[in-house]
């Protein structure tokens, strides 16, 4: 792909996500950010926009989007408990065409809201991994075993066709099977994510200890009932905790100890969890984290923005830096609240949404372009990104 350059009004740059006023010119070459410099000079003039890293939805169940709001008045185990929860009955009966359709619809919806990285737990074992056509290199599918005993053969197949394994609960497996999962996945160099301590019951049954006794996952999901000692252990082991706050509220699981998480410095990412009950809008997740953290005595919008863009669970460095991947989210800026805001990070977290998303670029290629961009700019982008 030929080199091209773009000038923007500013950007949230480097690992600190510092907001740098522009104009800034970014030179893109071979899918990488070759340089970032102050001044005008880009072939594409986008001085009405700012750039930031794409959002990262690090935990989502897409397939249950096939039947939104089913079982809305049931408890969490009756709805999503494996394998007899209502969700699994629905998925078993859903046709391939319906499941393929919701995967495409969900990915398109997330792209339009600025999500560039997705970590999906995919139910139904190996068969489901043949569903859908991969639209994004940055859509990581973690296959969930369809059975809870003698899993070795199925895990080998899941690894072959996916980006790793998603563990619904450590309690579903014997220690021997858990060890088999870790050994096989680690040998392949792929990912392991696991739900942990989403409910009081699973925490009281010591699910975290059971999991860590056999291996170290890349990420843990929920952690609602983890206390300071367990959270310090995650920090020490450098395990990312993926928070799914709206899901926790919907399923009445409780809320994680945000002040402890913040003060201990646990690495935090965000996910939207079950699409059947929670809209996959990561902006809403970020604003909720900001508000709940503020109520817990933590007032740090930069921390929240880092969580919104944290792709560590899939091993990706998601930053706008020279030499980094050309993964860029372009947001409307001129004549918006962002431009007038006294605190850019706070405004972005509180007011961000799909209505501000103008374009999304991954590896230097355009994967989403909002309809609000004028025709000439649309054609210019396509010319330079073909």
pLDDT digits (tens, 9 = 90+) for 346-380: 999 999 999 999 999 999 998 998 876 655 566 66
Same domain for 48 and 177: no
Q: Which residue has the tokens 């508000």?
A: 291
Same domain for 283 and 147: yes
Band the pLDDT of 77: cuts 50, 70, 90.
confident
Asked if pLDDT for residue 386 goes beyond 50, the answer is no
Band the pLDDT of 134: cuts 50, 70, 90.
low
DSSP state of 54: P
Over the stretch 9-21, which tens digit does the pLDDT of each residue have?
999 999 999 999 9
Structure tokens at 28: 């893109």
pLDDT value for 91:
87
Output the pTM of the full model.
Answer: 0.95
pLDDT value for 374:
52
Same domain for 290 and 363: no
Helix (H) or strand (E) holding 246: helix 245-250
- Average pLDDT of the segment spanning 123-146: 87
Domain of residue 352 covers: 4-53+319-385
pLDDT value for 380:
64
Same domain for 60 and 46: no
Same domain for 252 and 112: yes
pLDDT value for 372:
61
Closest CA to 348 of 360, 359, 336: 336
Q: Among 314, 336, 353, which residue terminates a domain?
A: 314
What is the count of structural domains for the chain? 2
Band the pLDDT of 148: cuts 50, 70, 90.
confident
Asked if pLDDT for residue 176 goes beyond 80, the answer is yes
Helix (H) and strand (E) counts in the chain: 16, 16
Mean pLDDT, rounded, of the chain? 93
């Amino acid at each position: 792909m030929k080199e091209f350059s773009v000038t923007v009004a500013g950007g949230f740059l480097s690992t600190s996500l510092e907001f740098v006023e522009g104009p800034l010119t970014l030179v893109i070459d071979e899918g990488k950010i070759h340089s970032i410099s102050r001044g005008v000079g880009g072939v594409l003039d986008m001085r009405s926009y700012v750039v930031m890293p794409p959002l990262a939805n690090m935990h989502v169940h897409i397939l249950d989007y096939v039947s939104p709001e089913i079982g809305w008045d049931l408890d969490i185990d009756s709805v999503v408990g494996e394998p007899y929860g209502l969700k699994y009955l629905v998925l078993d009966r859903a046709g391939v065409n319906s499941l393929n359709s919701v995967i495409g619809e969900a990915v398109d919806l997330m792209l339009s809201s600025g999500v560039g990285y997705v970590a999906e737990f995919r139910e139904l074992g190996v068969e489901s991994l043949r569903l859908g056509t991969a639209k994004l290199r940055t859509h990581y599918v973690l296959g969930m075993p369809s059975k809870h005993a003698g899993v070795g053969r199925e895990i080998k197949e899941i690894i072959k066709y996916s980006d790793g394994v998603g563990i619904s609960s450590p309690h579903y497996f014997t220690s021997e099977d858990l060890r088999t999962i870790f050994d096989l996945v680690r040998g392949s160099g792929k990912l392991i994510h696991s739900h942990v301590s989403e409910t009081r019951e699973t925490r009281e049954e010591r699910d975290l200890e059971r999991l860590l006794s056999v291996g170290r996952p890349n990420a843990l999901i929920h952690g609602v009932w983890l206390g300071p000692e367990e959270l310090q252990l995650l920090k020490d082991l450098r395990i990312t905790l993926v928070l799914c706050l709206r899901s926790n509220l919907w399923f009445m699981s409780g809320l994680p100890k945000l002040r402890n998480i913040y003060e201990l410095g646990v690495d935090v990412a965000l996910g939207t969890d079950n699409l059947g009950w929670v809209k996959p809008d990561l902006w809403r997740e970020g604003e909720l984290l900001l508000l709940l953290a503020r109520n817990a005595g933590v007032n740090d919008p930069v921390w929240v923005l880092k969580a919104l863009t944290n792709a560590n669970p899939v091993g990706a460095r998601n930053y706008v830096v020279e030499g980094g991947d050309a993964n860029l989210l372009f947001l409307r800026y001129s004549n918006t609240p962002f431009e007038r805001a006294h605190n850019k990070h706070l405004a972005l977290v509180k007011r961000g949404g799909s209505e501000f998303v103008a374009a999304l670029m991954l590896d230097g290629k355009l994967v989403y372009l909002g309809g609000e961009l004028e025709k000439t700019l649309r054609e210019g982008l396509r010319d330079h990104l073909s």
